[in-house]
Structure 1
Amino acid sequence: MMTLALVVCLAATASACGGSKSSKSGGKTAVTISNEQGTTWSCGFNPFNSDVNFLSFGTVYEELTFVNGLKSGQTTDWLASSYAWSNSNKTLTVTIRPGVKWSDGKPLTAGDVLFTFNLLKKNEGLDLNAAWSVLKDVTRNGNKITFDFKGSAVPYFYYIAAQTPIVPEHIWSTIKNPVTYKDTHPVGTGPFKMASCSPQVIKYTKNAGYWQKGKPTIETVYYPAFTSNDPANQQLASGKAQWGSQFIPNIKSYYVSKSADNHYWFPPTVNVSIFINLQDPILKDVAVRKAMAYAIDRKKVSEIGEYGYEPPSNQTGIVTPTFSSWLDPKLAHVFDYNPQKAIQTLQAAGYKKKGNLFYTPEGKPLSFRILNIGGYSDWVASVQVIQKQLAAVGIKITPENLSSTTYDADNYNGKFQLSYNGNESGGPAPYYELRQVLYSKNSAPIGKPAATNWERYENPATDRLIEQYASTADPATQHGIVRKLEQVMVNEVPVIPVTEGVDWYQYNTRDLKGWVTPDNPYAQPAAYVNPDWGVVLLNLKPKSAS
């Protein structure tokens, strides 16, 4: 993912944007992140605002329990020192860790946790993971918080404990409108404080009072704003940035060859898909969606648009090899590339071809606009390939390459016909991405922001499958339900997975150790994954440190 032009760091911070500070022992104690976002910084850090929460959740704000999506959901106690299920997996009790302080010196209490979840209940716009669609009540008893669910809820642990940032009651209780609150000076329990912010660069400094003794070792984190991946890539290749999270064309020659300390790893995690506005009068016809799915040569999109770094997807939505054990191999090949089948599907549904374009029986052309982020050069290239492939079967798409800010707003509010999008967060099993895409409670009416179900898919039977999954801890039953959700993806084609989105991750080991590696995948390694990026920063140390 990438963009147009670098927004240069302010003169006062120029050296910080390109280098790192030395400690007395000779090690480097600063990290510069190169992660092109397609926009300058708004200097908002609201952890419940999906546009900016990646800038505060993990570093400033923290979760109850850390869940590692690369290690089958392995858990690590965080702000909660323990947790336990009871009542047939309908009740979750967490014990809040003692001795934790907010960055303003006030103690974290169970009251802050209770307040956070009640805040989400009172303000639906903050409940990004629809937690209260499954929660019945949250109560406090001393240092323990009890979550009572409407039914068995084992998989929802991920959303409740790992994906909900805890905020301080003594600050957030005074905010009149927490949904629109920018949170320009965030106060959290995390390892870093937001020290300064301009549209060009954010500076984080070590939280000296952090509850994990001896951590963090890194004293300063610089996060420049890049509106294009090209200058961001230059920062990485030159060694001015140590941690990258973006697409680099010809990465071996451009980046790896520049230094023996330059490394990369791209673990597949979620799909990059064409989201289809199911409220559109033409696109609501499944025949059109199926024709599009047949017409796209995913392998070629992967090779040309993504240099093969992102493998081709399949229509089930199951990311492989990460989740191969969940995949129904027969369903995976239903929509293999078949342009002739695409044409036959349209003809059978009553569409007529005039010249090079198909038309509806009412005479409307199969011509659609597709949103994209103009600064993501790989996405732009991928859509260009898809554009040619769809044109070959009589469907016209016109790319609209937008700024990241406009793109996000249009996606969330359903103001699109088609959208090329890989911004789902996924989770430690394929269920999580499928829930994000298919669960109607993650949707919203057109014009109002949807959490993740941007295509506005709704089907009560599918909702029941998603909810049934949550009622069992039996792996065989869970696999069976996911197979049925794969069938939904194939039968209804609510979205079209194109490539398997990876965690873009480049890292330099000249001065720092403790990076995520294929042999030690202790967190998802991309700087844009929250709260994992905070965990990565906690593990980094100067090479001179023991």
Structure 2
Amino acid sequence: MHTTTDFLYEPLVVFNEMHGNEPVFRLAENFTIADDLMSVTFDIRKGVKWSDGETFDADDVIFSFNLVQENSALDQSGINSWVSKVEKLNDYQVKFYATEANSNVPYEIVKVPIVPEHVWKDVKEPTTFLNENPVGSGPFTVIDTFTPQLYVQCRNPNYWDNDNLEVDCLRVPQIANNDQFLGKVVNSEMDWTSSFIPDIDRTYAAASPNHQYWYPPAGTQAFLVNFKHKDPVKAEALTNVDFRRAFSMALDRQTIIDIAFYGGGTVNDFASGLGYAFPTWSDEATHNKYKGFNTYDVEGAKKLLDKAGFKDVNGDGFVDTPSGKSFELLVQSPNGWTDFNNTVQLAVEQLAEAGIKAKARTPDFSVYNQAMLEANYDVAYTNYFHGSDPHKYWNTGITLRFSQVMVCRASQCTSTKMQS
């Protein structure tokens, strides 16, 4: 989990997206972007120690980024495409050189965990290293319990900011699905969490006066279409822009929100996927030009399919490709994510009304995620989070080699995150 990593390895900076990306300095005390946007210099905090008592300094930062550059499998955030090299200016100052001018480089740099050089330099296979006794710089580095049912992280005795740390341990139970989670939160077994909760006022808030909740702006949920499909028949459909537009027009977004999310969410009819979260970033004329392709219209979807050559050749009630081949799309969502599962099932039924044959698939999350990483799927339902500006969404969504069919901007779907 990302939170587990962050609590083990303190970031250089935390950018508070709820306050305009205001920097909260952690292992770094400051950073400066060059006027040409081609480099960023970080001032490293003095007096920080690793959990084993060793001194933290610029060498650890340099080592960590070189480790990721030399082992691409460790590059979980894509930093190697952002940073060309890292230079030590002195014991507490590091300069990062960008691959191209970009003001967003600092936000990408801080995603990379800074690991202790004195530990990791002796690791022969860093990509398979289990790190069973981690040495970290974060607030919770002592792993008290680690089982399939529960893990417990406890306080780092050498944490540089211990005076402001009011929690001794984090207890994280492993939860199999939304139903099990709902039972725990209703019974007050969770102190702090985030997840979709159906009919939240009745099921959760009414159970106890101590049950409080907050809906921050979350992000866009979308169907991802695999452009790299190995099956030429499905690729013929999925790479056809009119087919994707018809797919989108077949979706009754409001019904999906009302049923799968109990009314929590906003219809997203923007081709950009940004929705109404960033009105000043959207050109209204462009929004209106493509809005029809993101609006429920079964008859319009059928006409668009017919125009593109997708016709029912064999008389089974579903369209075939322009070359006359029949196909069925498998639409995947992670098993146990009931809000996602219900969304996909509704979508499959709605697609059938437009003549598109599809079937819901609910693999375990690990299988689901691996299929997306390997482009070994037809269509996947997922979500992308927004930040204080659209760049986070564009970075994680639009820049992928996939197409997206936007469904909604859900305000409460903040528990699920996945790599693609």
Please give the TM-score of this superposition, normalised by the length of structure 2. Answer: 0.90
After TM superposition, the structure 1 = structure 2 runs for residues 436-447 of structure 1, keeping only pairs within 5 Å, are: 436-439=396-399
Instruction: Please point out which of 33, 36, 50 is paired with 1:102.
Output: 50
Measured in 1, the distance between the counterparts of 2:377 and 2:276 equals: 32
1:270 is matched with: 219
Instruction: Please point out which of 409, 412, 418 is paired with 1:500.
Output: 409
Measured in 1, the distance between the counterparts of 2:213 and 2:156 equals: 29
2:232 is matched with: none
1:26 is matched with: none
Measured in 2, the distance between the counterparts of 1:185 and 1:342 equals: 56
Letter in 1 for 2:125: N
1:302 is matched with: 257
What is the percentage of aligned positions where both structures have the same residue?
A: 26
After TM superposition, the structure 1 = structure 2 runs for residues 8-407 of structure 1, keeping only pairs within 5 Å, are: 52=1, 54-142=2-90, 143-161=92-110, 163-193=111-141, 194-280=143-229, 281-282=235-236, 283-332=238-287, 333-334=291-292, 335-353=294-312, 354-407=315-368
Structure 1 residues 425 and 131: alpha-carbon distance in aligned structure 2, compared to 1, 3 A threshold? farther
Letter in 2 for 1:498: V
Measured in 1, the distance between the counterparts of 2:251 and 2:228 equals: 22
3-state SS of 2:227 partner:
coil
> Does structure 2 conserve the Cα–Cα contact (< 8 Å) formed by 1:294 and 1:337?
yes
Task: Give deviations 1:278-331, integer Å, cap 9, x for gaps.
Answer: 123221111211110111111111111111223222343444554232223344
Measured on the aligned residues, the alpha-carbon RMSD in Å equals 2.0
Following TM superposition, by how much is the alpha carbon of 1:402 offset from its aligned partner in structure 2, in angstroms? 1.1
> Does structure 2 conserve the Cα–Cα contact (< 8 Å) formed by 1:372 and 1:380?
yes
Task: Give deviations 1:370-399, integer Å, cap 9, x for gaps.
Answer: 111120010111111111111100001111
Task: Give deviations 1:69-124, integer Å, cap 9, x for gaps.
Answer: 22221111111011111242212111100111111221111111111111111112
Higher relative contact order (CA 8 A, sep 6+): 1
Measured in 1, the distance between the counterparts of 2:146 and 2:371 equals: 26
> Does structure 1 conserve the Cα–Cα contact (< 8 Å) formed by 2:329 and 2:379?
yes
Query: Paired residues, what number?
Result: 404
Instruction: Please point out which of 410, 417, 420 is paired with 2:381.
Output: 420
Measured in 1, the distance between the counterparts of 2:416 and 2:331 equals: 27
Structure 1 residues 527 and 55: alpha-carbon distance in aligned structure 2, compared to 1, 3 A threshold? farther
Letter in 1 for 2:298: P
3-state SS of 1:58 partner:
helix
Measured in 2, the distance between the counterparts of 1:95 and 1:284 equals: 47
After TM superposition, the structure 1 = structure 2 runs for residues 430-509 of structure 1, keeping only pairs within 5 Å, are: 430-439=390-399, 453=400, 456-457=401-402, 494-502=403-411, 504=413
> Does structure 1 conserve the Cα–Cα contact (< 8 Å) formed by 2:268 and 2:276?
no
Measured in 1, the distance between the counterparts of 2:350 and 2:48 equals: 55
Measured in 2, the distance between the counterparts of 1:528 and 1:361 equals: 36
Letter in 1 for 2:393: E
Please give the TM-score of this superposition, normalised by the length of structure 1. Answer: 0.70
3-state SS of 1:57 partner:
helix
Unaligned runs of 5+ in 1: 1-51, 440-452, 458-493, 506-525, 530-546
> Does structure 1 conserve the Cα–Cα contact (< 8 Å) formed by 2:249 and 2:297?
yes
Unaligned runs of 5+ in 2: 230-234
Structure 1 residues 181 and 111: alpha-carbon distance in aligned structure 2, compared to 1, 3 A threshold? same
Letter in 1 for 2:65: F
Letter in 1 for 2:58: A
Measured in 2, the distance between the counterparts of 1:330 and 1:399 equals: 36
3-state SS of 2:319 partner:
strand
Task: Give deviations 1:158-184, integer Å, cap 9, x for gaps.
Answer: 1112x2221111122222232233333
Following TM superposition, by how much is the alpha carbon of 1:355 offset from its aligned partner in structure 2, in angstroms? 4.0
> Does structure 1 conserve the Cα–Cα contact (< 8 Å) formed by 2:47 and 2:160?
yes
